[in-house]
Amino acid sequence: MGRKEPLNFNLRSDAITRKIFWCLLGFELFIVFLDLFVNHYKWSSVSSIRRMVNITREDSLSNWFSSFQAIVVGSVIWLTAIGVKKQKSGDDYKKRYYCWAGIGTFFIYLGIDDAIKFHERMGTAFKVLLFPDDDTSVAGVLGSIYDVFPSYTWQMIFGPFFIAVGAFIIWFLWKELSSKKLWYWFLAGLSLYAVAVGLDFVEGLDGAPYEGIAGFFRTEEYRIEHLSKTVEEFLEMLGTTTFLVIFLKNISSLSQEWKVNIFEKS
């Protein structure tokens, strides 16, 4: 056989990222549609089908998609870190590499966390271990904070960590993203996350305003609560999609040409 010619693929990053965004957004809207009509309004009489598309359940289609998408974002960021290391441009490339790798690891953690509900379960474990029978007097300062904290325990425990990591990522990406437009888009994605966490905070309040809203719209309270959770999950998925597109655009700017070499062992 003659010598095989290499295969060359020419891909436009802008066109690809645009298609990725609209495809993922369409799938997320489809997930919301399934949740609202197949599950909430019971278009399907089969309970197992409704549970599968129930956007609030841990074993649902939406939770799988959200977790997988965050891990993909983390993987793209890790590729960025490897690209920075390969280029070895600038005296601080090692520092940049470790920062990118740390952010990528954080997003992979978010995907795993979302899959197993790590922060919610650790918040519950913290509450059970340190505050048995809701006796906050035995925990000193932590007990005092827990006693006045109005929402879920996980937000009290993990909130400072997430805020610190978020502040570092904002500072680092301000310098590292290939254009300020991408940085502004990153802030938009971060804002979607913030609104989702805010809705989760309201959900954990003892006096959550669902009853008043339900009365205003003359509907059942559980419908308003479910709609709030649906919006929360949708905003989180859309925020992750925004991050994915941003980091794909950014990694494409590291080099004008990307090559993947596959060797066959002779």
| pLDDT tens, position by position, 20-63 | 999 999 999 999 999 999 998 888 889 889 999 999 888 889 99
Q: Looking at the 3D structure of the chain, how many domains does it have?
A: 1
Among 87, 116, 112, which residue's Cα sits nearest to residue 100? 87
Q: What is the mean pLDDT of the chain?
A: 84
**257 belongs to a structural domain:** no
User: What confidence score (pLDDT) does residue 259 get?
Assistant: 61
Find the mean pLDDT for residues 75-104. Answer: 88
User: What confidence score (pLDDT) does residue 8 get?
Assistant: 60
Find the mean pLDDT for residues 194-208. Answer: 83
Domain that holds residue 100: 66-116+177-252
- Rounded Cα gap, residues 48 and 57, in angstroms: 12
User: What confidence score (pLDDT) does residue 265 get?
Assistant: 58
Task: Give the tens place of pLDDT for each residue, 202-246.
Answer: 887 776 677 777 777 677 887 888 888 999 999 999 999 999 999
**140 belongs to a structural domain:** no
Residue 256 — pLDDT band, cuts 50, 70, 90? low
User: What confidence score (pLDDT) does residue 33 get?
Assistant: 95
Whether the pLDDT of residue 175 is over 70: the answer is yes
**3 belongs to a structural domain:** no
User: What confidence score (pLDDT) does residue 13 get?
Assistant: 74
User: What confidence score (pLDDT) does residue 143 get?
Assistant: 63
**183 belongs to a structural domain:** yes
Lowest mean pLDDT among 63-67, 152-156, 205-209: 205-209
**172 belongs to a structural domain:** no
Residue 186 — pLDDT band, cuts 50, 70, 90? very high
Lowest mean pLDDT among 64-68, 108-112, 225-229, 238-242: 225-229
Among 199, 180, 202, 179, which residue's Cα sits nearest to residue 239? 199
User: What confidence score (pLDDT) does residue 123 get?
Assistant: 76
**21 belongs to a structural domain:** no
Count CB-CB contacts under 10 A for residue 103: 23
Count CB-CB contacts under 10 A for residue 160: 10
- Rounded Cα gap, residues 197 and 155, in angstroms: 9
CA 183 to each of CA 19, 82, 178, 224: distance values in angstroms, whole numbers, following the listed order: 20, 21, 8, 34
Find the mean pLDDT for residues 251-261. Answer: 68
Whether the pLDDT of residue 105 is over 90: the answer is yes
Residue 139 — pLDDT band, cuts 50, 70, 90? low
Who contacts 31 (Cβ-Cβ below 8 Å, separation ≥6)?
A: 53, 55, 61, 62, 65, 234, 237
pTM for the whole structure: 0.85
Cα Rg of the chain, angstroms: 22
**157 belongs to a structural domain:** no
Count CB-CB contacts under 10 A for residue 151: 16
